[in-house]
């Protein structure tokens, strides 16, 4: 039972089937957008289809039980097949099976076998064969000539046999990568948050399910700027961040795309930017009696502000039902917490600037004080990705091992060669000796066989 | 409206010239296949080498120009650049293969792929040769190595596709050699649809000539394998560089973006190829088929994903929203 399971999980066929299934499931994930909101899915697919897709796990397919299950099966086959084959291969490298006949039987399908007759004596034949194959095979690994009786003899060559471990190491590399992936998925997290300029945050939201994570420190966004090329394409997004620990700013640094900040095992990446809906109007208050006295205020609708001019207080409001083609906001003057007088309605004045004509919204109170609407205040925010990546190093080490081993398994192939001489029967009349050559490549390459043919041809010429 | 990318300033003029040269060499190989006159294949090969040299020059011009206009990275990121680079590596692959294996019949397929890629780059309104500053995420040297590595892989996969086509044509012949005689006899006995053969006769002729000129099937099999593993190695390197870069730039080495996922699917396809020959019952023919399918996957990963599925990596939308 166990050995059957063992065989099942080390079969390359199973590995191929798993590869195909994983690819097929991955394709689904590229057709259906992953990680959209439920609302988006419902508008795209409709309610019913949405529920089916949800039930099938297609909306978060790379975290679905079957995708993770397939990956786990692949890891299992990798481990079982490696565990099964590695000892055998290492044994073969250290202590190769020299038997001519077993090799011929087992590897017939890729072997080049030739048997020749010659009247030359065995010792001489072997020396000639050695010469013919020296260029491509070097020295024999095992030289089993019986110098005394000068009769049977066997030369065994094995080229690149050490590289038979490269596929093992390639699989090891794949396992290390997968281990690193699992570790970083279990121990690390990827999260996302928006920080307003001036704001300090301590929570971030997981990318996969929007659950909040408490960070071990606070992050304050001191400043945010976007830089643009002349044609309007964005050039850089730059945030200045301060790491705050126990109310003390411990580190201030700017981050840009490709240039994150790492502190305490946590890395903060620039990911996006934007602005919130305006929350306050910018009001310039002018003292008409004394032009030098002016104040710029950010007025949230409905709140009371002091103009600091004759202690006049005011509030900035929107009309509930603005008339068409009229300016929708107004100023109220406040005394003793009560609005006095009619609302001060803004007038539109043409105003020339260097960039062209711009309307200016203007109103005044008692010829004393003027209010100019100078725009709305927008709060920029910087979208940052906050990641705890504990074990990516393992992934990189695994990748390096894999790539290294791929190189050696692809470009260094083992090749074995046997040369055997069997002398004729001493009693026989014709003194022809049999010489057999068996060449087995690890991979069936045409170039290997043509190389062997060439060597054999050379050898034939000499005997 | 057809517009042709041909500006001396940004170097696209030289690519356009090389495009016409490659078309010429394609016809040279075509004539070679029918006449078997080595002169044509030799002339075509010389044209290919000259076009390759011209493209090298054009890349230098483009690179210098992009520095000149204040972009400190070589231009490789938009659709035009990537298509001309694709043609470039295909020609490089063909030149190397020709030097190693002396496949003249491969020239016909490889120059065809290069022509298609250059035609797309030169004529398609989606591909503009103007060098645009790239968005912040793409301003990185990681990108350069990522792209070069992947394109070496794509070039190798294109070559393996070409060789696999030769292989399958040849394999069919061996398969049919016995049956063919009988079929031919039967076909000649007053088949009412015989006149139709005029339509497909040129293809049969082409097919026969391919058979005649392509190297032995074992050599083709070996070449497919070697070219694929070369591509697989660089595909792996390219994916790892991309992951390292993403980790550096976005804080995650893998985010299942469609392009990423398709590169994994490509990788899996060729991993199947590598393991297929270790499985009993999977002969060389199946391997050749995987090489053909693999190239279709490569083309989808390279162009299909951009044109069909929007994602982080899109080339196809010049000046599109920031990729962040
Ligand atoms: C997941 C990623 C995998 C990678 C990157 C990988 C890579 C490789 C490579 C490069 C070779 C050498 C091929 C050659 O030299 O011709 C190989 C061989 C092999 N692979 Fe995999 N493989 C993977 C998964 C698997 C799995 C899951 C199995 C499970 C059965 C498997 C079984 C084998 C076997 C039996 C060999 C032959 C070993 C030998 O030639 O000594 N591989 N693999």
Q: Could you give phi then psi for residue A341, rounded to 5 degrees?
A: 70, 175
Residue scoring higher pLDDT (B12 or B58): B58
- Closest by CA to A450, choosing from A441, B174, A125, is A441
- Closest by CA to A331, choosing from A302, A351, A358, A309, is A302
| Helices B217-250 and A446-462: angle between axes, nearest 10 degrees | 140
- Closest by CA to A331, choosing from A384, A372, A376, is A372
Residue scoring higher pLDDT (B156 or B76): B156
In the predicted model, is pLDDT for residue A224 greater than 90?
no
**Cβ within 8 Å of B, A 211-270:** 229, 231, 233-237, 256-258, 260, 267, 269
Cα gap B246→B259, rounded to integer Å: 13
Write the pLDDT tens digit of every residue in A374-404. Answer: 777 667 788 888 888 666 788 999 999 999 9
Cα gap B74→B62, rounded to integer Å: 8
Using DSSP, state whether B103 is helix, strand or coil.
Answer: coil
Residues within a 6 A CB radius of ligand 1: A 10-12, 15, 74, 77-78, 81, 89, 167, 170-171, 174, 402, 406, 409; B 271, 274-275, 278
Residues composing chain B: 324
Residue B129's pLDDT band, with cuts at 50, 70 and 90, is low
Residue B319's pLDDT band, with cuts at 50, 70 and 90, is very low
Kindly list the domain boundaries of chain A, sorted by start residue.
Answer: 2-90, 96-160+413-462, 189-276+381-388, 280-376
Write the pLDDT tens digit of every residue in A19-42. Answer: 999 999 999 888 887 766 677 777
Identify the pLDDT of residue B265: 95
Q: What is the mean pLDDT of residues B204-218?
A: 74
Q: Whose CA is nearest to atom 27 of ligand 1?
A: A78
Flag the least confident range among A131-145, A155-169, A211-225.
A131-145
Mean of pLDDT over chain B: 78
Cα gap A214→A216, rounded to integer Å: 7
Identify the pLDDT of residue B291: 93
Residue A146's pLDDT band, with cuts at 50, 70 and 90, is low
Produce one character per residue of A259-278: b if its CB has 16 or more CB atoms within 10 Å, e if not. Answer: bbbebeebbbbbbebeeeee
Measured in angstroms, how far is the CA atom of residue A167 from the centroid of ligand 1? Answer: 6
Flag the least confident range among A78-87, A209-218, B180-189.
B180-189
Using DSSP, state whether B16 is helix, strand or coil.
Answer: helix
Q: What is the mean pLDDT of residues B251-256?
A: 78
Write the pLDDT tens digit of every residue in A245-283. Answer: 888 888 888 888 778 888 887 888 888 777 766 677 888
Which ipTM did the prediction report? 0.83
8-state DSSP, A107:
T
Residue of A nearest to B268 (CA): A19
Using DSSP, state whether A33 is helix, strand or coil.
Answer: coil
Write the pLDDT tens digit of every residue in A279-329. Answer: 778 888 888 887 777 788 888 888 888 877 777 888 888 888 777 777 888
Identify the pLDDT of residue A143: 79
In the predicted model, is pLDDT for residue A229 greater than 50?
yes
Nearest to A271 among B139, B237, B250 (CB): B250
Residues composing chain A: 463
Q: What is the mean pLDDT of residues A439-461?
A: 86
Cβ contact (<8 Å) for A392 and B247? Answer: yes
In the predicted model, is pLDDT for residue A227 greater than 50?
yes
Identify the pLDDT of residue A403: 96
Write the pLDDT tens digit of every residue in B12-22. Answer: 788 888 888 99
Cα gap B103→A348, rounded to integer Å: 79
This prediction's pTM:
0.77
The number of the ligand 1 atom at minimal distance from the alpha carbon of A443 is 16
Ligand 1 pocket test, pick from A76, A171, A404 with the greatest ligand atom count within 8 Å of Cβ, gives A171
Residue B136's pLDDT band, with cuts at 50, 70 and 90, is low
Ligand 1 pocket test, pick from A89, A167, A398, A442 with the greatest ligand atom count within 8 Å of Cβ, gives A167
Query: Which of B97, B136, B239 is the best residue to mutate to test the A interface, defined by the most A CB atoms within 10 Å of its own CB?
Result: B136
Residue scoring higher pLDDT (B127 or B171): B171
**Cβ within 8 Å of B, A 139-168:** none
Computed on alpha carbons and rounded to an integer, the radius of gyration of chain A in Å comes to 41
Ligand 1 pocket test, pick from B275, B280, B284 with the greatest ligand atom count within 8 Å of Cβ, gives B275
The CATH class, in words, for A96-160+413-462 is alpha beta
Write the pLDDT tens digit of every residue in A329-373. Answer: 888 888 877 788 788 888 887 777 665 666 778 888 888 888 888
Distances from the Cα of A45 to the Cαs of A33, A50, A51, A56, A82, in angstroms? 11, 6, 9, 14, 45
Cβ atoms of A327 and A346 closer than 8 Å: yes
In the predicted model, is pLDDT for residue A427 greater than 70?
no
């Amino acid at each position: 039972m166990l050995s059957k399971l063992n065989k099942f999980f080390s079969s390359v066929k199973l590995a191929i089937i798993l590869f195909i299934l994983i690819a097929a499931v991955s394709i689904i994930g590229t057709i259906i957008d992953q990680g959209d909101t439920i609302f988006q899915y419902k508008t795209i697919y409709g309610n019913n289809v949405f529920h089916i897709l949800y039930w099938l796990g297609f909306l978060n397919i790379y975290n679905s039980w079957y995708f993770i299950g397939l990956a786990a099966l692949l890891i299992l086959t990798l481990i079982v097949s490696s565990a099964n084959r590695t000892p055998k291969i290492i044994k073969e490298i250290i202590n190769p099976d020299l038997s001519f006949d077993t090799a011929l039987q087992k590897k017939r399908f890729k072997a080049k076998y030739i048997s020749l007759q010659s009247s030359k004596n065995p010792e001489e034949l072997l020396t000639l064969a050695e010469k013919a194959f020296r260029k491509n095979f070097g020295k024999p690994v095992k030289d089993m000539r019986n110098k005394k009786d000068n009769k049977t003899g066997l030369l065994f060559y094995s080229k690149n046999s050490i590289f038979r471990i490269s596929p093992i190491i390639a699989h090891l590399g794949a396992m290390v990568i997968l281990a690193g992936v699992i570790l970083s998925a279990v121990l690390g997290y990827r999260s996302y948050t928006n920080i307003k300029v001036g704001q300090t945050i301590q929570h971030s939201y997981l990318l996969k399910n929007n659950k909040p994570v408490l960070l071990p420190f606070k992050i304050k966004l001191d400043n945010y700027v976007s830089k643009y090329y002349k044609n309007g394409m964005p050039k850089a997004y730059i945030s200045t961040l301060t790491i705050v620990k126990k109310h003390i700013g411990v580190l201030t640094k700017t981050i840009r795309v490709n240039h994150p900040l790492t502190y305490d095992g946590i890395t903060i990446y620039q990911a996006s930017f934007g602005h919130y809906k305006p929350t306050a109007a910018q009001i310039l208050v002018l003292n008409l009696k004394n032009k030098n006295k002016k104040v710029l205020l950010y007025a949230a609708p409905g709140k009371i502000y002091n103009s600091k001019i004759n202690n006049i207080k005011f509030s900035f409001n929107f009309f509930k039902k603005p008339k068409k083609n009229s300016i929708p906001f107004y100023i109220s003057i406040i005394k003793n917490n009560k609005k006095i007088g009619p609302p001060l309605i803004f007038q539109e004045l043409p105003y020339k600037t260097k960039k062209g004509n711009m309307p200016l919204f203007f109103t005044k109170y008692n010829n004393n004080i003027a209010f100019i609407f100078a725009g709305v205040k927008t709060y920029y925010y910087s979208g940052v990705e906050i990641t705890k990546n504990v074990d990516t190093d393992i992934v990189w080490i695994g990748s390096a091992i894999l790539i290294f081993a791929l190189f050696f398994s692809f470009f260094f192939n083992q090749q074995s060669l046997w040369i055997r001489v069997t002398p004729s029967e001493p009693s026989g009349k014709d003194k022809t000796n049999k010489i057999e050559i068996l060449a087995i490549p690890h991979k069936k390459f045409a170039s290997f066989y043509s190389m062997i043919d060439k060597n054999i041809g050379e050898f034939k010429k000499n005997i | 409206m057809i517009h042709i990318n041909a500006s001396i300033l940004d170097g696209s003029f030289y690519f356009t010239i090389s495009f016409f040269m490659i078309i010429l060499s394609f016809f040279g190989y075509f004539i070679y296949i029918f006449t078997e006159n080595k002169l044509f294949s030799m002339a075509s090969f010389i044209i290919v080498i000259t076009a390759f040299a011209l493209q090298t020059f054009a890349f230098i011009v483009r690179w210098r120009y992009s520095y000149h206009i204040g972009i400190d990275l070589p231009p490789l990121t938009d659709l035009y650049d990537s298509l001309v680079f694709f043609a470039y590596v295909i020609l490089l692959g063909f030149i190397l293969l020709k030097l190693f294996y002396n496949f003249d019949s491969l020239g016909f397929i490889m120059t065809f792929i290069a022509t298609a890629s250059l035609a797309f780059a030169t004529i398609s309104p989606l591909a503009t040769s103007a060098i645009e500053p790239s968005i912040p995420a793409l301003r990185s040297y990681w990108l350069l190595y990522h792209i070069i590595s992947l394109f070496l892989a794509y070039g190798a996969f294109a070559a393996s596709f070409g060789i696999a086509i030769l292989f399958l044509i040849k394999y069919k012949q061996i398969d049919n050699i016995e049956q063919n005689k009988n079929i031919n006899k039967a076909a000649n006995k007053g088949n009412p649809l015989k006149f139709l053969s005029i339509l497909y006769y040129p293809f049969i002729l082409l097919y026969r000539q391919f058979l005649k000129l392509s190297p032995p099937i074992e050599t083709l099999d070996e070449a497919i394998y070697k070219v694929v593993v070369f591509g697989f190695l660089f595909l792996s390197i390219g994916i790892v560089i991309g992951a390292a870069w993403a980790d550096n730039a976005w804080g995650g080495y893998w985010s299942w973006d469609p392009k990423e996922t398709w590169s994994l699917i490509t990788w899996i396809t060729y991993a199947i190829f590598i393991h297929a020959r270790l499985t009993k019952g999977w002969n060389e023919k199946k391997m050749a088929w995987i090489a053909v399918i693999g190239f279709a996957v490569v083309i989808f990963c390279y162009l299909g994903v951009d044109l069909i599925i929007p994602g982080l990596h899109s080339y196809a939308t010049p000046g599109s929203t920031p990729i962040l």
